[in-house]
């Protein structure tokens, strides 16, 4: 039973790490702000979500699992809002140039 749990954790966290890697490569290689934001949201949603999913089997109790999920939801909320604000500022900067 614990072997199955560890396997789930390994697979999910590795997949999450892959998405973080993809997001970072996008951040470094994409040409402008809007495309970079697009890459970063992949790290936020999928990367963090998969890492949290992988850590859920290791959580000690249901309350700890709920705390992990709420961490993911709060990071999603903050990331989405800030991406919108940065994108708007980037668009305005571009139109006033």
- Under the rule (CB under 8 A), what is the footprint of other proteins? 74, 77-78, 81, 84-85
Which C-beta is closer to other proteins: that of 35 or that of 84?
A: 84
Q: What is the separation of C-alpha 68 from the centre of its chain, rounded to a whole number of angstroms?
A: 13
d(CA 33, CA 78): 18
Q: Which is nearer to other proteins, 1 or 33 (CB)?
A: 33
Neighbours of 17 (CB within 10 A): 14
Q: What is the DSSP letter of 44?
A: I
CB of 29 to other proteins, least distance (A): 18
| In the complex, least distance from residue 9 CB atom to other proteins, rounded to whole angstroms | 15
């Amino acid at each position: 039973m614990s072997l199955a749990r560890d396997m789930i954790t390994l697979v999910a966290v590795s997949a999450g790490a892959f998405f973080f890697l993809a997001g970072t490569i996008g951040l470094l290689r994409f040409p402008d702000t809007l495309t970079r934001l697009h890459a970063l949201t992949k790290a936020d949603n999928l990367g963090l979500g998969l890492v949290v999913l992988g850590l859920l089997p290791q959580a000690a109790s249901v309350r700890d699992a709920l705390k992990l999920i709420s961490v993911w939801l709060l990071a999603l909320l903050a990331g989405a809002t800030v991406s919108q604000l940065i994108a708007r500022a980037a668009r305005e900067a571009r139109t006033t140039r």
